[in-house]
Every structure is written in C-alpha cells, then in structure tokens.
Structure 1
Amino acid sequence: MDENKLIGRITRRIVPFVMVLYTVAYVDRSVIGFAKLQMGADVHLSDGAYGLGAGLFFLGYFLFEVPSNFVLPRVGARKWFTRILVTWGLVTMATALTRNPASFYSLRFLLGVAEAGFYPGILYYLTQWYPQRHRTRATGTFVLAAPLAFLIMGPLAGWMLGLDWFGLRGWHWMFLLCGGVAVLAGIPTMFWLKDTPRDAPWISPAEAQWIEDELARDKVELGQVEHHNPFAALGSKYVWGFALLFFPSTVGVYGLSFWVPSVVKEFTKSNMAVGWLSTIPYVFGFIGILLTSRWASRFKENWYPLAAIFAVAAVGIGLAGAVRSPGLELAAMSLAAFCLYSIAGVFWPLPSRYLVGATAAIGIAFVNSFGNIGGFVGPYAVGAISDATGTPRNGMYFLAVVLALGAVGTLVLKAMWGGKNPVTSMVGAGTAGSPQQEDSPVGQ
C-alpha cells in the first residue's frame, strides 16, 4: 500500500469540503464587522456595545462547546455538522431583525450556542483519519478557511452594503444571504461526509485497517489514553495548559478581524473601498498558513515555531497601533494577519499528541472553548479602548501585549513538557489494558 497516495486521497476527499464549511462559518461569525458600518447608527450601537455583542458570540460558544463535542462521537460527524450548519444559518438570518443593543446581544449569544463545537469537531474528525505525523499539514490546510473567508467577504461586503431592496438596507441583506448559504450547506454535508474510514466507499478494507493500526500505534508511542469517562480530560494539566496557551491567539485573531473594517474606514469613506482594502491582511494570512504549516512540519514538535509566530504577531499588531500612515498601517496589519492565522495550524497538532478518541473530542473542545474566551476579550477590549480614546488603533497595543505573553507561555510549556514522552508517566483509569503509571496526559 502506498501511504502517500492514501493520505493524498483522504485529503482531496475531506479537507476541501470541511474548508468550505468552515469558510461559511467564519463568514457568518465575522460578517458583523462589515455590517457594523451601517447597523451601528441604525440600532444605536456604540463601539463598546458593538465590541460586547461581537464577543458574546464566544460566551455562548464557550458554554456549549464541550456538550456539543460530547454528542458528536455518539451521533456521528455527518448528522451533527448538518445540525450545526442549519441552526447557525437560521440565527444569522434572524440577526437581520436586530432593532436595539439588547436584541443584538441576544442573537450574538445564540449564534455562539448554535455554532458551538463545529471547529473543534472538525479537528477531532481529522484525528480519525490522519496519523499524527500527517496532522500538521492537514490541519494547516484546513485552517486556510479563516483568511479565505475574509478574502471572499471583503469584496462581497462592499457590494452588499450598497443593496437597498424591498425596504431592507445592505446590512440586513448581509445577514439574510450569508445565513441562507449556511442552511443550504447542510444538504451536501449530510451526503458527502463519512463518519469513519470504514464508512467510506473510496477506502478499501485494507486501507481502513492500516489507518486504524496507525492510530493505535500513535496511542502507544505518544502515551495517549482514552478514558471510559471522557470528561476526565477536564482534570488534565495538559488540557488546561493548552487552553491557556490558545487564549492569546483568539484575543489577537478576533481583536484584529472584528475591527479591521473600522480601522480601514478611518482613511476611506467608500464602503466598497473598505471591502477591498480589508482583504489585504487576509491575503497575507492565507500565505502565512501555507508557509508556516510546511515550515513547522519539519520540526519534531511545534513549540519553537509557535513561539516565533506569537512573537512576530505581537510586533505586527503593535506596529498597527503605532503608525499613522494608511499604507504602513495596512502593512503592519498584514504582518499580524500573516502570523495570527498561522497559529491554529501549528498549535493544534500539539494537544492532539496527548488526547485520543472520545477523550480527544472533549479535551479539544475544552481547549478551544476556553481559548475562545479570547474571542470575547479581544473585541470587547478594543471596543472599550476605542470608546475611551476615540480610535480602535490604541486597542492594538493591548492585543500586542497579550500575544507577547503567548510567546512566553509557549516557551514555558516547552520547558515543562517538550520532548517528554508521556507514555513513561501515565496514570490509571485508562481503557482496558492501559498501563497504570503516573502523570497521565489526560484525566489526572
């Protein structure tokens, strides 16, 4: 059997499709940054109120993500992803009904509840198809969806903001059209995705067996333990450590992305120009993912690449607040986006070294949900600083400090865990036949 051909076939069948789905998700969660240019005045949203509402999405996401990923392995990715797509699409469409800050807050929270579990669910789904050594590139390719969403959204947003049909303004149509796409995307999801390699008609029984054998080998070599009670992962120091490490990246990503249109608006009055100019940082984000995922795959572990990316992101976003020339500001935001959107593809193979099976679904969900509190903190902090100082640029300094702490935290965890094979220090309560040693990667 040719391993590279099999992995290539899996990638072609799965990764482009889940990329499309996550692009739709990212469009739906980020459309608010462009809609704010009109709806702010229509529904009386201050910068602080907008930042709070934008961040409330992540509070709903945080509260319901672990329960969502608890259900995922039990009903299968195909059905559960379809449910998520349809419900978040309907909530996005309902956001066109926003009339005041209170309704805005409620709908943003409900959007987080509806979408909860989708991103970590896909990450867990990929662990069922790829051995550990292939995951950095697979994950790095998948997360291209984030900047791709903004590349698509920028020009479309400029066009949609100019719509005035049937008594509805542009921002109303943005929510209706983007939410409608998510609802429709549920139909092919139900038929295209397969829950496991055994279910895929394009994988032979021998190839499915090879995948299962390789995943089992990873469990032994990396010391992964699957518990009868997957919620035991919530007591792991590894899960908490990675959750804290993921937090700065989401502060930076959403702190920047939700405010890029507002920053660009300061030096152009045309909504169409805002749409096109706002895509520039995400072109560099897209390039960054392509380059860094391949660079990081050359390392045995991703600790040093991750620390370097955090550090350069801090420099870029700090410069975005310091410079006053529009060209230099866009260049600084582009440098920040190059690094910020690279973090996910380099980060996620690290926790997957320690978690497996249903335990992985819960552990990855918690890491993502806790880290995504940063999606609340980033937009809200930038909004509060903007209200206090008169410009969202000053909020960039706050984001830079948080990202610098991410670089430091990465090196601290590298010193504590890097290069350590946890199979030599595992503790009881695993699956039948698991060795009982100390300092388990999950369920301490």
Structure 2
Amino acid sequence: MTSEAQLIRRITLKLIPFLVVLYLIAYIDRSAVGFAKLHMGADVGIGDAAYGLGAGLFFIGYFLFEVPSNLMLERFGARRWFARILITWGLITMAMALIQGPYSFYALRFLLGVAEAGFFPGVLYYLTKWYPIRHRGKIMGLFVLSQPIAMVVTGPLSGALLGLDGMAGLHGWQWLFIMIGAPAVLLAWPTLRFLPDSPAKVSWLSEDEKRWLADELRKDERDYAQTRHGNPLQALKDRRVLLLALYYLPVTLSIYGLGLWLPTILKQFGGSDLTTGFLSSVPYLFGIIGLLIVPRSSDRLNDRYGHLAVLYALGATAMALSAWLSVPVLQLAALSLVAFSLFSITALFWTLPGRFFVGASAAAGIALINSVGNLGGYLGPFGIGALKEYTGQMSSGLYFLALVLVFGLFLTAVVYQRLERRQARTDMTDSAQHGRI
C-alpha cells in the first residue's frame, strides 16, 4: 500500500477540487443578492428592512429542511442527492429574475433555502467517511476555501453582470440571477456521473487502501468514544449537539451579516458598481490566506480551542474598528482582518462535531448544528438592516456584530469546559476501569 500521506493526497485530489467548485457555485448563488440589491430595490420597491428580511428568509428554509435533507443523503447516496440539490437551487436562482416586489422576493429566497438545505452539512458529513480525524483540520480548511473564493469572484462578476442593464430588455440584476443560476443546473450531470458515494465504491483505491481507511475510521470511533445512536434522530436532542449549534451561531451571524451588507458598506466609499465589486474582493483574499495558514497550524499543534479563542478576539476587535474608523482604506483593512478570522473559525469549528459523533448520528447532528447555526444567516442581515434603518448609521450594525463575536469568545471557554474536559475525564475513567479489569 502507498504511504498514508500519499493516500490522503490522492483522495484529496479526487474529491476536494470538485466539491470546492460545487460549493463555490452555491455560495455565489446565495451571496450575489447583496449586489442585486444595489439596483433591484429601486426597480421593484424593496427597502433596507425588506431586503434584510428577504435575505434572511433563505436561512429559515435552510433551517427547516436541513436535517431531513442530510438523512435523505444517507439514504440515497451523495451523488444523487447532491445532483438533486444542484438542479433545484439553480432553477430557483434563475427564477429570481422574475421578482416583482417584496413578497415574490421573500418567497423565492425561502424556496432557495429549502432547495439548498443539506448541501454544506452533507459535504461535511460526506468528508467524515473519507478522512481520519487527524487530517480533518486541513481538509475542512480546503473545503471552506470555497466561501472566500466565491466572494472574491462574486464581486467583480456581479459588477460586470450588473453592467448588462438594458440588454434584451432586462435589468442588470436580472441578468445577474440568470447567469449565476445556470452553472448549478449544468453541474448536476457531472456530479451524478463522477462523484463517488463512499470509499468502498471507487476503483482508484486498492482493497488494502480501502481496508486501511476503514480500520482508521473504526479506530477513531473507538479512541474518541464517538457516539452512534440506534436512532439517528436521537442526536437531535443530544446536549453536545445543541451546545455546538449555539457555538456556531456567532460566526454564521457575522459572516452572513457582513457578507450580505458588504457591497452597501463599500458603496459608501464612492465609485462604480465594478469598483465596489473589486473592493469587496479584498477582505475575502485575506479569508483565503487565513484558511491556508490557520487550519494547518491547528492540526500541527493539535490545538483547536486556543486557535478559536484568538480568532474570535481578533475578529471582535477588527469588527469594532471597522465601525469606528472613518478612513476608507483603514476600514477596508479592518474588514479584511474580520474575514481572516471568520473563515478560519468556520474551518476549525467543523472539526469538532466529528470528534463526538459517527455514522448517521453524525449526519443528523451536523445538519442540526448547521441549521441552528445558520439562523444567524437570518438574524445577521435582518438585524443590520433594522439597526441601519433605525439609527441611520451602518456602524451600529457593525458594533452589533462585534458584540456577537465577543459572545463567541465566551462560548469557546464554555464548550471547552463542558465538552472537551468532560470527555477527557470520561476517557480517563474508562481507562482506569479497563486497567482494573
């Protein structure tokens, strides 16, 4: 058999680039609405509060259907279920070109969340079938790269598509929705054709390699005392799942709150739509740098919580500075540090659920954690929109996000005390009992 490093590299080359492309398309689809808002609001009568509500309704649909979607993934297999998700979310994104006012905007954003529900947590669960725990920090970092890369691409792409205003009698924001929805539909067939359901079903792993990987995953299950419920729905009331869901809330609230309003923030600097698009890419370049550095450092030092605490503190400080500073260059620098922190937090956080759960319990638990955490995708955009409308200042929303990240720092200590130290005590007790036997 090849060495462990060579095997992991081969699996990564076979899976991760394709999964990154799929999630790249998903993230562009959900995020481009921030650029469409620059002109769509005036064309169809959608104000700041209505936009914040509609942008957030995506995550309500996501929340309601995420656990069922992940259980369907376990039943039907990754390639068929991901292909279904791609087709439905692509068609609904394209249908957003037909928006006539707030209510059609609300309905389609909600349906988009329903259609896409389960894709991100589905991939996270899917990856637990391919990688032992010790490799997951770097792998999660590589997959989460999709998010900042999407935002780097979304800005210039959206600015260019908005420039098609008037072509074939359509507004620029309508072209934006049509052109970003089509790739999802087109990628459904390659997903169905080339994405394997599990290591057991691929020809590019030898029988010895498949056996080694299965043994390593069983060893993780034993060494980390991972939970496998008789009924996977029992994971939904596991206290560890609920605590991790609460812990995920601050980062999603901040990422989506900032991301969906970033074009509006940067538009205040002056400049064209295309300039705003390019400027919006800058913070996400720093997000990419963070994902290439921080997860590897976390794996190398075998430290999750220390890294998470530093990142939450850095993110909270930078978010507050972005609200306080008035010089555009300095404000953009602060927002870049925010992006560095938030995307790194996301990658490190998603190494935690697989520490405690395995099998269908992991599928249900990851889905619930992501669905509850993604309520932040509703609260963030809506909260910033409401605060901006009430105070007349964008800075009020950014100060709100800074407080949210301080709460995340507090939760880091709580999760470590309640989960990791308790698990360590349990493992020591079990070892002592086995020693007496």
Answer yes or no: same fold by TM over 0.5.
yes
TM-fit CA distance, 1:188: 0.9
Give the match's secondary structure for 2:187.
helix
- Contact 1:224 / 1:423 at 8 angstroms: preserved in 2? no
Give the match's secondary structure for 2:170.
coil
Identify the residue that residue 342 of structure 2 maps to in structure 1.
340
Identify the residue that residue 68 of structure 2 maps to in structure 1.
67
TM-fit CA distance, 1:425: 7.0
Q: Distance in 2 between matches of 1:220 and 1:423?
A: 16
TM-score norm. by structure 2 comes to: 0.96
Identify the residue that residue 141 of structure 2 maps to in structure 1.
140
Identify the residue that residue 394 of structure 2 maps to in structure 1.
392
Q: Distance in 1 between matches of 2:68 and 2:427?
A: 29
Give the match's secondary structure for 1:259.
helix
Pairs within 5 Å for 1:149-160: 149-160=150-161
Q: Distance in 2 between matches of 1:348 and 1:25?
A: 18
Q: Which amino acid aligns with 2:343?
A: Y
Describe the shift of the 1:423–1:2 C-alpha distance in structure 2 as closer, same or farther (beyond 3 A). farther
Q: Distance in 2 between matches of 1:404 and 1:304?
A: 15
Q: Distance in 1 between matches of 2:48 and 2:337?
A: 25
Q: Distance in 2 between matches of 1:226 and 1:417?
A: 17
Q: Distance in 2 between matches of 1:177 and 1:167?
A: 15
TM-fit CA distance, 1:419: 4.3
Give the match's secondary structure for 1:18.
helix
TM-fit CA distance, 1:423: 9.4
Match of 2:203 among 201, 204, 211: 201
Q: Distance in 2 between matches of 1:202 and 1:423?
A: 41
Q: Which amino acid aligns with 1:239?
A: V
Q: Distance in 2 between matches of 1:319 and 1:243?
A: 28
Identify the residue that residue 429 of structure 1 maps to in structure 2.
none
Identify the residue that residue 294 of structure 1 maps to in structure 2.
296
1:326 to 2:345 alignment: no
Identify the residue that residue 217 of structure 1 maps to in structure 2.
219
Give the match's secondary structure for 1:279.
helix
- Contact 1:303 / 1:418 at 8 angstroms: preserved in 2? no
- Contact 1:304 / 1:411 at 8 angstroms: preserved in 2? no
Identify the residue that residue 414 of structure 1 maps to in structure 2.
416
Q: Distance in 2 between matches of 1:299 and 1:370?
A: 30
Give the match's secondary structure for 2:100.
coil
What are the superposed Cα offsets for residues 123-182 of structure 1, whole Å, 9 maximum, x if unpaired?
Answer: 000000001111111111100000000111111111101103110011001100100011
Question: Mean alpha-carbon deviation: is it higher for 415-424 or for 336-345?
Answer: 415-424
- Contact 1:239 / 1:363 at 8 angstroms: preserved in 2? yes
1:232 to 2:234 alignment: yes
Q: Which amino acid aligns with 1:218?
A: D
The two structures, once aligned, show a CA RMSD in angstroms of: 1.4
Higher helix share: 2
TM-fit CA distance, 1:291: 1.1
Identify the residue that residue 188 of structure 1 maps to in structure 2.
190
- Contact 1:154 / 1:276 at 8 angstroms: preserved in 2? yes
- Contact 1:88 / 1:115 at 8 angstroms: preserved in 2? yes
Give the match's secondary structure for 1:182.
helix
Q: Distance in 2 between matches of 1:111 and 1:392?
A: 27
What are the superposed Cα offsets for residues 63-108 of structure 1, whole Å, 9 maximum, x if unpaired?
Answer: 0000000111110000000000000000000011001000000000
Q: Which amino acid aligns with 1:133?
A: R
Q: Distance in 2 between matches of 1:28 and 1:76?
A: 24
Identify the residue that residue 435 of structure 2 maps to in structure 1.
none
TM-fit CA distance, 1:288: 1.0
- Contact 1:221 / 1:423 at 8 angstroms: preserved in 2? no
Identify the residue that residue 432 of structure 1 maps to in structure 2.
none
TM-fit CA distance, 1:225: 2.1
Pairs within 5 Å for 1:234-313: 234-313=236-315
Q: Distance in 2 between matches of 1:127 and 1:39?
A: 41
TM-fit CA distance, 1:421: 3.7
TM-fit CA distance, 1:416: 2.2
TM-fit CA distance, 1:269: 3.6
TM-fit CA distance, 1:393: 2.6
Identify the residue that residue 33 of structure 1 maps to in structure 2.
34
Q: Distance in 2 between matches of 1:413 and 1:227?
A: 22
TM-score norm. by structure 1 comes to: 0.94
Q: Distance in 1 between matches of 2:31 and 2:394?
A: 17
TM-fit CA distance, 1:282: 0.6
Show structure 1 runs of 4+ deviating over 3 A: 419-426
What percentage of residue pairs aligned between the two structures are identical?
A: 51
TM-fit CA distance, 1:294: 1.1
Q: Distance in 2 between matches of 1:342 and 1:141?
A: 11
Gaps of 5+ in 2: 431-437
Identify the residue that residue 434 of structure 2 maps to in structure 1.
none
Identify the residue that residue 96 of structure 1 maps to in structure 2.
97
Q: Distance in 2 between matches of 1:393 and 1:160?
A: 29
1:113 to 2:107 alignment: no
Gaps of 5+ in 1: 427-436, 438-444
Aligned positions, number: 427
TM-fit CA distance, 1:391: 3.1
- Contact 1:92 / 1:178 at 8 angstroms: preserved in 2? yes
Q: Distance in 2 between matches of 1:247 and 1:64?
A: 18
- Contact 1:32 / 1:258 at 8 angstroms: preserved in 2? yes
Pairs within 5 Å for 1:420-439: 420-421=422-423, 424=426
Match of 2:180 among 169, 178, 181: 178
Q: Which amino acid aligns with 1:339?
A: S
Give the match's secondary structure for 1:342.
helix
